[in-house]
């Protein structure tokens, strides 16, 4: 256990109350900072697709005291089934053999369950401003003057962007997203649909070269399936942002005449009010801080859903940033330490996928056949020891 060395009156504004934001707030509070979180949603965002907490991130949530609550929310997915173009089973495996997770240690839960647990751990100790966001800020020698959308103005010693892949804080301080976004060769849509197939605690993935659709029955609600439709494009599809009709039209065109349950999935997509469409990409920045502003989680180093490591990087990165700020008098030195001690972990996890090369989403017939042959041989494999990248960081000792 260590004690903080920084002056205890520093004020920090965090933008974003999802995963990185509340984790950072929890630890900054423990180090004696005065923390405010601004979140554009009206409440902590509930619902959402299943996400993983693995490896080093498990130790962070254990230290926060939220591990039992997260273990209770664990989804216990029993089967990961791969099917071919006609819906014929290629292989059906325990999920950890596919994801590199460690059975009885790593967790998978609804995104909203994780956010709710992290929020509950910190809500009494820090100030939350919901339904608001940073409009602009101006950095001074001795602080950052922030103007909020609501019109109020306040000064903070530091501002941290935990506002996700399309971070506004990043744009305001570092410039346009395009400089940092690395397109990975896929676009996807995700939405919920009625579970008319009676699936339970299982994921089924359908592949043809360049197309991958999945149905995910988490068991948290027997009536709902998470449908996922992914496709390869060498260039990111343009002009679809915010236009759900255009997104639906493109997906329907790409999946026209496909077999298995695809026609039912496409019909459900037409009615789905929660369709979320984006490209698969990573955020790669030469530096995660500038002046009195720093970034954490997806805002700084989104690894993409293809790695399944976004939440874990957000949790571990938040812990490392708080420990660096808590252990340094000077914020510039703290930001340097955060980066020095965390970058290798981030790089290793981002390297789990390459453009067009995600094993779950082969883009050529030969890559798909090779993947399927490997899967057939994997059926009798022993439990996985875990993907080394998931645990490739030793955390600094916990603050007393
Ligand atoms: C379809 C899909 C599937 C995924 N699957 C997995 C998976 O299996 N495993 C995994 O680990 N990860 C997965 N991820 C990634 C994971 O969701 C993210 O990596 C993780 O949520 C990052 O957390 P974060 O706190 O950094 O950012 P986010 O969760 O993106 O949160 C950002 C927060 O900031 C708020 N915000 C945004 N802009 C502003 C603003 N201007 N002002 C105030 N607030 C703002 C948002 O409302 C949100 O609450 C998936 C992502 C997607 C899209």
Angstrom distance (rounded) from CA 364 to CA 154? 54
Residue 309 beta carbon below 6 angstroms from any ligand 1 atom: yes
Which residue among 52, 73, 164 has the greatest number of ligand 1 atoms within 8 angstroms of its CB, and so is best to mutate?
164
pLDDT in tens, 63-121: 999 999 999 999 988 999 999 999 999 999 988 888 888 888 899 999 999 999 999 99
Q: Please give the C-alpha separations between residue 17 and each of 115, 131, 377, in angstroms, as whole numbers.
A: 8, 11, 43
Which residue among 25, 80, 163 has the greatest number of ligand 1 atoms within 8 angstroms of its CB, and so is best to mutate?
163
Nearest alpha carbon, ligand 1 atom 3: 305
Q: φ and ψ at 397, to 5 degrees? A: -60, 155
**pLDDT at 79 (0 to 100):** 92
Angstrom distance (rounded) from CA 269 to CA 195? 13
pLDDT in tens, 105-122: 899 999 999 999 999 999
**CB of 144 closer than 8 Å to CB of 158:** yes
**pLDDT at 222 (0 to 100):** 67
pLDDT in tens, 21-57: 999 999 999 999 999 999 999 999 887 788 999 999 9
pLDDT in tens, 183-221: 999 999 999 999 988 899 999 999 999 999 999 998 876
Instruction: List strand residue ranges (DSSP E) for 236-331, in order.
Output: 276-283, 289-290, 293-295
Q: Please give the C-alpha separations between residue 95 and each of 98, 306, 358, 360, in angstroms, as whole numbers.
A: 5, 15, 16, 12
**pLDDT at 2 (0 to 100):** 57
Least confident of 5-14, 145-154, 274-283, 364-373: 5-14
Residue 381 beta carbon below 6 angstroms from any ligand 1 atom: no
pLDDT in tens, 302-352: 999 999 999 999 999 999 999 999 999 999 999 999 999 999 999 999 999
286 alpha carbon – ligand 1 mean position (Å): 21
18 alpha carbon – ligand 1 mean position (Å): 7
Q: Compute the half-sphere exposure of residue 384: CA atoms within 13 Å on the CB side of its CA.
A: 20
């Amino acid at each position: 256990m260590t004690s903080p060395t920084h002056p205890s009156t520093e004020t920090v504004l965090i933008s974003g109350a999802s995963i990185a934001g509340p984790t950072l707030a929890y630890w900054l509070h423990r180090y004696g900072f005065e923390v405010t979180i601004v979140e554009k949603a009206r409440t902590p965002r509930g619902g959402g697709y299943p996400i993983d907490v693995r490896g080093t991130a498990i130790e962070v949530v254990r230290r926060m005291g939220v591990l039992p609550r997260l273990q209770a929310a664990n989804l216990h997915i029993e089967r990961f089934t791969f099917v071919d173009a006609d819906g014929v089973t290629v292989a059906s495996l325990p999920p950890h053999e596919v994801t590199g997770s460690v059975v009885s240690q790593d967790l998978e839960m609804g995104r909203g369950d994780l956010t709710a647990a992290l929020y509950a751990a910190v809500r009494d100790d820090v100030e939350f401003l919901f339904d608001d966001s940073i409009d602009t800020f101006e950095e001074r020698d001795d602080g950052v003057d922030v103007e909020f959308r609501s019109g109020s103005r306040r000064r903070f010693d530091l501002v941290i962007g935990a506002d996700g892949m399309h971070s506004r804080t990043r744009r305001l301080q570092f410039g346009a997203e395009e400089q940092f976004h690395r397109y990975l060769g896929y676009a996807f849509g995700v939405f919920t649909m009625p579970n008319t197939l009676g699936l339970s605690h299982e994921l089924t993935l359908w592949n043809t070269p360049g197309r991958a659709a999945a149905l995910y029955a988490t068991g948290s609600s027997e009536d709902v399936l998470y449908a996922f439709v992914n496709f390869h494009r060498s260039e990111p599809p343009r002009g679809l942002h915010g236009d759900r009709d255009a997104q639906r039209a493109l997906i329907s065109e790409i999946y026209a005449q496909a077999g298995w349950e695809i026609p039912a999935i496409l019909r459900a997509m037409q009615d789905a009010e929660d369709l979320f469409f984006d490209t698969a990409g990573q955020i790669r920045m030469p530096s995660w801080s500038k002046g009195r502003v720093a970034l954490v989680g997806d805002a700084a180093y989104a690894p993409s859903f293809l790695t399944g490591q976004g939440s874990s990087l957000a949790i571990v990165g938040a812990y490392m940033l708080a420990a660096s700020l808590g252990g340094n008098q000077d914020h510039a030195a703290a930001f340097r330490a955060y980066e020095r001690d965390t970058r290798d972990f981030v790089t290793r996890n981002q390297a789990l996928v390459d453009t067009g090369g995600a094993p779950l989403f082969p883009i050529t017939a030969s890559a798909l056949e090779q993947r399927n042959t490997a899967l057939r041989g994997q059926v009798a494999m022993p439990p996985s020891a875990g993907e080394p990248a998931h645990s490739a960081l030793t955390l600094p000792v916990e603050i007393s």
